[in-house]
């Protein structure tokens, strides 16, 4: 068997490691060719994970966070701390005995590429642009190249936010939780790392201009007017692929699904997808069964995001009134309120 994996962001690196580890454990002969364009930069945003992701990284890359955390500038995560979402703060901790990590995406890519070459003799790296006509050389192609250019084969979701400003405070921090801080235009994630603190100011540009977002980000962080030039803006268009698996063409990471990054959902969904892709490749489930499982996972995360917004925040304004209404309408189109809300 011969598999191509496209992309070297966090999802691409993680997918490659998990595929190789599974084949090694099951003694499956397979050449895994990892292809990415080195001219495309890695975003370099601080990553927050779940315990499933942390376990997968440890297994696939023979990586011990207790002794090797400095390689990723990582810190230990015990859960998610929601601030200003309700009158009292909410902490969603992991179960006793479980933990996750925060890490620097660029450091993870560097570590991952080094470990893949060291651990897996059937791993081959090609630093070049992918050409679709080369697909016939492989039994399967797993596309992890990030946001798609065309959304014809995707469902575009009616979530709340559509824009983000990322600010990296050069001061390190370690407070044990990913922070989700509600503000008057949306919310902000705060990720503690050994060499900096990553802030993601998320908002909807219908209710808040980029300048207003910058002003609010400066107000609630250690940023200054001088730092404005270093703020990075990203779109937050939410979507998921209608067919994650289409014959030999498979998708993962942001090529398959993207929601606003509440509760570290991005790499969580990538890890869940890898398990499903492997079951499909190994002939344990059909294409239709695999796609149904993927969509169930996507919708579960979408429901979680809407449930958080459904209760609003401490702020009473046009944005939050609209957000609560939209989230409630979204939930009413599923049976999630009947299942989880008394």
pLDDT at 342: 41
- Whether residue 324 is predicted with pLDDT greater than 50 in this model: the reply is yes
Bridge partner residues of 61 (DSSP) = none
Residue 34 or 341, more confident = 34
pLDDT at 337: 57
Which of 14, 16, 13 shows the shortest CA–CA distance to 4? 16
What is the rounded distance in angstroms from the CA atom of residue 184 to the CA atom of residue 313?
Answer: 9
What is the rounded distance in angstroms from the CA atom of residue 110 to the CA atom of residue 307?
Answer: 36
Is the torsion defined by CA of 97, 261, 43, 202 positive or negative? negative
Written in H, E and C, the secondary structure of 96-113 is CCCCEEEEEHHHHHHHHH
Tens of pLDDT, residues 48-74 = 999 999 999 999 999 999 999 999 999
Which of 198, 217, 200 shows the shortest CA–CA distance to 208? 217
Q: Which two tokens stand for residue 133?
A: 């006509």
Q: Say which residues have a Cβ less than 8 Å from residue 213's Cβ, sequence separation at least 6.
A: 163, 165, 185, 201, 203
Q: Which two tokens stand for residue 243?
A: 């067919």
Contact 68, 44 (CB under 8 A): no
Contact 139, 3 (CB under 8 A): yes
Q: Which two tokens stand for residue 270?
A: 């990538």
Burial 93-128 (b: 16+ CB within 10 A, else e): eeeeeebbbbbbbbbbbebbbebbeeebebbeeeee
Q: Say which residues have a Cβ less than 8 Å from residue 121's Cβ, sequence separation at least 6.
A: none
What is the rounded distance in angstroms from the CA atom of residue 336 to the CA atom of residue 325?
Answer: 15
How much of the chain, in percent, has pLDDT values that exceed 90? 94
What is the rounded distance in angstroms from the CA atom of residue 309 to the CA atom of residue 88?
Answer: 15
- Whether residue 333 is predicted with pLDDT greater than 90 in this model: the reply is no
Eight-state DSSP code of residue 157: P
Q: Say which residues have a Cβ less than 8 Å from residue 183's Cβ, sequence separation at least 6.
A: 84, 201, 216, 220, 315
pLDDT at 340: 53
Residue with tokens 């300048």: 211
- Whether residue 323 is predicted with pLDDT greater than 70 in this model: the reply is yes
Residue 55, SS3?
helix
Tens of pLDDT, residues 129-165 = 999 999 999 999 999 999 999 999 999 999 999 999 9
pTM: 0.94
Tens of pLDDT, residues 75-126 = 999 999 999 999 999 999 999 999 999 999 999 999 999 999 999 999 999 9
Counts of helices then strands in the chain (DSSP H, E): 9, 19
Residue 257, SS3?
strand
């Amino acid at each position: 068997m011969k598999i191509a994996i496209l992309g070297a962001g966090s999802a691409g690196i993680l997918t490659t490691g998990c595929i190789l580890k599974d084949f090694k454990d099951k003694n499956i002969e397979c050449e895994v060719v990892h292809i990415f364009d080195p001219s495309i930069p890695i975003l370099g945003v601080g990553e927050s994970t779940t315990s499933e992701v942390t376990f997968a990284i440890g297994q696939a890359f023979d990586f011990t966070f207790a002794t090797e955390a400095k390689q990723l500038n990582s810190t230990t995560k015990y859960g998610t701390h929601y601030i200003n979402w309700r009158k009292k703060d909410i902490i969603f901790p992991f179960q006793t005995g479980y933990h996750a990590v925060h890490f620097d995406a660029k450091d993870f890519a560097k570590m991952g590429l080094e470990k893949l070459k060291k651990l897996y003799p059937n791993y081959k790296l090609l630093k070049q642009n992918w050409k679709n006509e080369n697909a016939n050389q492989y039994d399967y192609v797993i596309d992890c190249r990030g946001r798609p250019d065309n959304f014809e084969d995707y469902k575009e979701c009616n979530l709340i936010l559509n824009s983000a400003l990322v600010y990296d405070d050069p001061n390190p921090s370690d407070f044990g939780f990913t922070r989700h801080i509600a503000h008057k235009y949306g919310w902000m994630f705060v990720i503690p790392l050994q060499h900096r603190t990553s802030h993601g100011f998320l908002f909807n540009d219908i209710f808040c201009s980029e300048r207003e977002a910058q002003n609010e980000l400066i107000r609630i962080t250690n940023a200054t007017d001088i730092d404005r030039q270093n703020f990075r803006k990203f779109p937050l268009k939410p979507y998921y692929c209608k067919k994650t698996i289409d014959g030999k063409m498979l998708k993962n990471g942001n090529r398959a699904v993207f929601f606003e990054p509440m509760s570290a959902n991005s790499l969580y969904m990538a890890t869940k997808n890898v398990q499903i892709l492997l079951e499909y490749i190994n002939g344990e489930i059909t294409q239709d069964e695999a796609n149904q499982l993927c969509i169930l996972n996507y919708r579960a995360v979408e429901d979680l995001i809407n449930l958080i917004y459904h209760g609003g925040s401490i702020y009473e304004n046009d944005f939050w009134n609209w957000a609560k209404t939209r989230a409630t309408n979204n939930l009413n189109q599923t049976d999630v309120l009947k299942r989880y809300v008394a």
